[in-house]
Amino acid sequence: MNKGFIYESQEADFKIVAVIFDDDGLVVHGKAVETREEGEAFLRKALAELRDVESFAAPR
């Protein structure tokens, strides 16, 4: 199952980055955002889309 995280740093060029990882810890999707709320919205949308793709590819 994919997992999403938000990373915040005061020293990075991109202060907030939202990233989705796969089960192996590899980055599936990521985006630099301006606010934590924007990052959370990105993660919700991207994870929902990935779930849709996974359910289509491997129906139960």
Rounded Cα distance between 1 and 50, Å, is 10
- Residue 13: what pLDDT? 79
Q: What is the mean pLDDT of the chain?
A: 88
Contact 16, 35 (CB under 8 A): yes
Does 60 score more than 60 pLDDT?
A: no
Q: How far apart are the first and last CA of the chain?
A: 15
Mean pLDDT, to the nearest integer, of 23-50?
Answer: 93
Q: What is the pLDDT of residues 14-27, one digit of tens each?
A: 789 999 999 899 99
Tokens of 50: 């990935």
How do the domains of the chain map onto residue ranges?
A: 3-57
Rounded Cα distance between 55 and 59, Å, is 5
pLDDT bucket at 58, cuts 50 / 70 / 90:
low
pTM: 0.78
